[in-house]
Amino acid sequence: MKNTAGHAAIIRVVGAAIVQNGRVLCAQRGPDKSLAGLWEFPGGKIEAHETPRQALHREIEEELRCEVEVAEEVCTSTYQYDFGTVELTTFICHLVNGTPHLTEHHAIRWMPPTEMPSLNWAPADVEAAGIISAKTLP
């Protein structure tokens, strides 16, 4: 994806670090996706008419079929992949309604923050995973 100047487009995305009972939901990308097998915080692209928080709320409903409260912003990371530059803003979220269901991911795990560094994270998610792994969560 290139813009009119021939530069790789910036792909603005959001990720949800969903917290429940002191654990964080981590999602593994499926074998048919780019970055297959790597772990990430679920989420997706921000549409032109959306704020990052609105996009995250919509993406979690679509991907996991549950509802979250989008709370504090963790960080914004930028990573240059071969397909473009991803600008990922990750938020702490709290499960409000429903149970996360696998629709797009190969696997999901609820993990204590201290164990999160053991996963093989997608490069754009590494910074947020590191910050969250040092937190004490409710």
Give the tens place of pLDDT for each residue, 16-64: 999 999 999 999 998 888 889 999 999 999 999 999 999 999 999 999 9
The pLDDT score that the predictor gives to residue 55 is: 97
| pLDDT at position 79 over 80 | yes
Q: Determine which helix (DSSP H) or strand (DSSP E) holds 54, and give its type and residue range.
A: helix 52-64
35 φ, ψ (degrees, to nearest 5): 60, 35
Q: What is the rounded average pLDDT of the residues 84-113? A: 94
Distances (CA, A) of 22 to 4, 72, 87, 118, 137: 45, 15, 27, 17, 5
